Amino acid sequence: MTPGLVISAPASGTGKTTVTLGLLAALRALGHKVAPFKCGPDYIDPAFHKAAAGQPSYNLDSWAMPQARLLEMVAEDQGADLHLAEGAMGLFDGVARPGETGIGASADIAALMGWPVLLVINVAGQAQSAAATALGFSKMRPNVHLAGVILNNVASPRHEALVRDGMAQHNITVFGALPKRPDISLPERHLGLVQAVESPDLAVQMARIGAFIAEHVDLLAVMAAASSRAKVPNIPSAKLPPPGARIALAQDAAFSFIYPHLLQEWRSEGATILPFSPLADQAPDESADCAWLPGGYPELHAGPLSAATHFRAGLLAFGRDKPVHGECGGYMAMGTSLIDKSGTAHPMVGLL
DSSP 274-320: EEE-GGGTPPPPTT-SEEEE-EE-GGGGHHHHHH-HHHHHHHHHHHH
Q: How many helices (H) and strands (E) does the chain have?
A: 12, 17
Q: Under DSSP, is residue 231 helix (H, G, I), strand (E, B) or coil?
A: coil
Separation between Cα atoms, residue 7 and residue 81, nearest integer Å: 16
Radius of gyration of the chain (CA): 22
Separation between Cα atoms, residue 305 and residue 78, nearest integer Å: 41
Sign of the dihedral through C-alpha 33, 34, 36, 39: positive
Residue 346 · residue 337 · CB < 8 Å: yes
Separation between Cα atoms, residue 317 and residue 304, nearest integer Å: 20
Residue 273 · residue 263 · CB < 8 Å: yes
Reported as type and span, the H/E element at residue 310 is helix 309-321
Residue 74 · residue 218 · CB < 8 Å: no
Residue 98 · residue 63 · CB < 8 Å: yes
290 is a catalytic site residue: no
Separation between Cα atoms, residue 80 and residue 31, nearest integer Å: 11
User: Catalytic one among 223, 328, 335, 347?
Assistant: 328
Q: Under DSSP, is residue 237 helix (H, G, I), strand (E, B) or coil?
A: coil
Beta bridge partners of 324: 291
Separation between Cα atoms, residue 338 and residue 340, nearest integer Å: 6
Residue 279 · residue 304 · CB < 8 Å: yes
Instruction: Enumerate the active-site residues.
Output: 328
